[in-house]
Structure 1
Amino acid sequence: MKGTLLRELPLSTPMHRLWAGTKLVAVAVISVSLLVWPTWPMVGAIAGLLLVAAVVARVPLRAVPIPPWWLWGLVAFGAAVNAVVSPEAVWLYARGILFAVVLLWATITMAWTTAMADVAPAFATLLAPLRKLGAPVDDWAVSTALLLRALPMLLDDVQVLVAARRLRPRKGTRNGKAQDTFLIDIMAAIVSVAIRRSADMGEAIAVRGGTGSITATRARPGLRDAAATAIVIAVCVAGAVSS
Structure 2
Amino acid sequence: MRGSAHLLGAYRAGRSPVHRAPLGLKAAAVVVLSAVLLTFRSLPLLGAALLLVLGAYAAARLLPEAWRPLKLMWPVLLLLGAFQAWSSGPAAALLVVGNIVSCVAAARLLTLTTPLQELLDGLVALAGPFRFVGADPERFGLTLALMMRSIPFLLGSAQDVRHSAMARGLERNPRALTVPVVIRAVAYAQQTGDALAARGIGEAAGTPKAPEHQHADGRGIIAE
Scaled by the length of structure 2, the TM-score of the pair is: 0.71
Asked whether the 8 Å contact 1:2–1:67 carries over to 2, the reply is no
SS at match of 2:182: helix
- 2:92 maps to what in 1? 92
Quote the residue 1:109 is aligned against. 109
State the Cα RMSD in Å. Answer: 3.3
- Structure 2: gaps of 5 or more residues: 203-224
Match of 1:181 in 2: 173
Q: 1:39 aligns with which of 37, 42, 49?
A: 42
**Does the 8 Å CA contact 1:3/1:63 hold for their aligned counterparts?**
no
Q: Which has the larger radius of gyration?
A: 2
One-letter identity of the residue aligned with 1:98: G
Specify whether residues 204 and 49 from structure 1 end up closer, same or farther in structure 2 by C-alpha distance, changes over 3 A only. Answer: farther
Aligned partner of 1:223 in structure 2 is none
**Taking structure 1 as reference, are residues 116 and 209 closer, same or farther at Cα in structure 2, changes over 3 Å only?**
farther
Tell which has more relative contact order, 1 or 2 (C-alpha 8 A, sep 6+).
Answer: 1
TM-score by length of 1: 0.66
Instruction: Report what 1:146 is aligned to.
Output: 146
Distance in 1, Cα, partners of 2:196 & 2:121:
15
Post-superposition offset of 1:28: 2.5
C-alpha change, 1:66 and 1:47, in structure 2 (3 Å) is closer
In structure 2, the residue corresponding to 1:127 is in which secondary structure? helix
Distance 1:158 1:19 in 2: 35
Q: 1:117 to 1:209 in 2, by over 3 A?
A: farther
Q: CA deviation at 1:51?
A: 1.4
8 Å CA contact 2:158, 2:181 repeated in 1: yes
8 A Cα contact 2:81 2:96, kept in partner: no
The equivalent residue for 1:214 is none
Give the structure 2 partner of residue 169 of structure 1: 169
CA–CA distance in structure 2, aligned partners of residues 35 and 63 of structure 1: 20
Mark the CA change 1:38 to 1:191 in structure 2 (over 3 Å): closer, same or farther: farther
**2:81·2:97 contact (CA, 8 Å) conserved in 1?**
no
Equivalence for 1:29: 32
1:199 alignment partner in structure 2: 190
Q: In 2 relative to 1, CA 82–99 (structure 1 residues): closer, same or farther, beyond 3 Å?
A: closer
Give the fraction of aligned pairs with identical amino acids, expressed as a percent.
24
For residues 128-173 of structure 1, give each alpha carbon's deviation from its aligned partner in whole angstroms, at most 9, with x where no partner exists: 22223333333332222221222223222222111111112349xx
- Residue 208 of structure 2 corresponds to which residue in structure 1? none
Instruction: Please give the alpha-carbon distance, in whole angstroms, between the structure 2 residues aligned to 1:154 and 1:23.
Output: 29
Kept after mapping to 2: 8 A contact 1:120/1:145 = yes
Cα contact 2:4–2:155 (8 A) shared by 1: no
Q: Which runs of 5+ in 1 are unaligned?
A: 172-179, 212-243
Q: How many residues end up aligned between the 2 structures? A: 199
Q: 1:24-49 CA deviation, whole Å, 9 max, x = no partner?
A: 33322322222222322432332222
Q: Please show how residues 6-85 of structure 1 align to structure 2 within 5 Å.
A: 6-59=9-62, 61=64, 64-65=67-68, 67-68=70-71, 72=74, 75-76=77-78, 79=81
